Structure 1
Amino acid sequence: MSATVPMSVWNNVRKYFKESLDDRYDLQDVIRYKNPMDSYLYMVIAKHKNYPAIKASIGCGPWVVWTTWNESTQSLNGGHYDIKTYEDALSICEERRK
Structure 2
Amino acid sequence: MSATVPMSVWNNVQKYFKEHLNDKYDLQDVIRYKSPLDSYLYMVIARHKNYPELKASIGGEPWAVWTTWNESTQSLNGGNYDIKTYEDALRISEARRK
Taking structure 1 as the reference length, the TM-score comes to 0.98
Aligned to 1:97: 97
| Alignment partner of 1:63 is 2:58 | no
Rounded Cα–Cα distance in structure 2 between residues aligned with 1:12 and 1:78: 17
Rounded Cα–Cα distance in structure 2 between residues aligned with 1:2 and 1:76: 19
CA RMSD, aligned part only?
A: 0.6
Rounded Cα–Cα distance in structure 2 between residues aligned with 1:2 and 1:42: 10
Aligned to 1:32: 32
Identical residues among aligned pairs (%): 84
Rounded Cα–Cα distance in structure 2 between residues aligned with 1:2 and 1:32: 6
Aligned to 1:77: 77
Rounded Cα–Cα distance in structure 1 between residues aligned with 2:7 and 2:88: 25
Q: Give CA deviations for 1:24-68 in whole Å, capped at 9, x if unaligned.
A: 000000000001100000000000000011111211110000000
Equivalences, count:
98
Please report how far the alpha carbon of residue 15 of structure 1 lies from its aligned counterpart in structure 2 after TM superposition.
0.4
Q: Unpaired runs of 5+ in structure 1? A: none
Rounded Cα–Cα distance in structure 2 between residues aligned with 1:3 and 1:58: 37
The ranges of structure 1 where at least 4 consecutive aligned residues each deviate by more than 3 angstroms after the TM superposition are: none
- Give the residue type in structure 2 aligned to 1:33: Y
SS in 2 for 1:16: helix
